[in-house]
Amino acid sequence: MTLKTFAKAALTAAAFAATASSASAWGFDICEDVTMRLHNYSGQAIQIYDVDYYDYGQGIWRSEPFENRVIQDGYYFSFTRNLEDVENAQTRIRFRYRTTSGGRWTGSYTAQGSAFTCRHNATVDVRLR
């Protein structure tokens, strides 16, 4: 390897290392493939309309795109998402849901899980009782 080739390779490696080390500062700390499950033991059907996770570093709830989903009593719903800005950090999951009254979905309730450290391929269970 010539000195010129070696210098070029060293600069490329240094640039890559700088980019990789600052990835979390630029918001690349994505906790990938987190499976979230809501178990419904409430005694009635519920409609989930929002799913959030808490970013303790920023002190905010972050929302995940979610289509309304009905879960019957005794069943659970499971889905997988990537959670931004919480890789290897504490977070918690919150499901927002409604119940029926007079044949209509009404109210706004939450079911929240315990805090956990987000890691790739994690599975988080939230139980609604």
- Model confidence, pTM: 0.77
Kind and range of the H or E run holding 14: helix 3-21
Residue 44 DSSP label: S
Q: Which stretch of DSSP H or E encloses residue 126? A: strand 123-128
How far apart (Å, rounded) are the C-alpha atoms in residues 21 and 122? 23
CA–CA separation, 30 and 121 (whole Å): 11
pLDDT in tens, the chain (129 residues): 555 555 555 555 544 444 444 444 455 689 999 999 999 999 999 999 999 999 999 999 999 988 999 999 999 999 999 999 999 999 999 999 999 999 999 999 999 999 999 999 999 999 999
The confidence score (pLDDT) of residue 65 equals: 85
* Whether the Cβ atoms of residue 111 and residue 94 lie closer than 8 Å to each other: yes
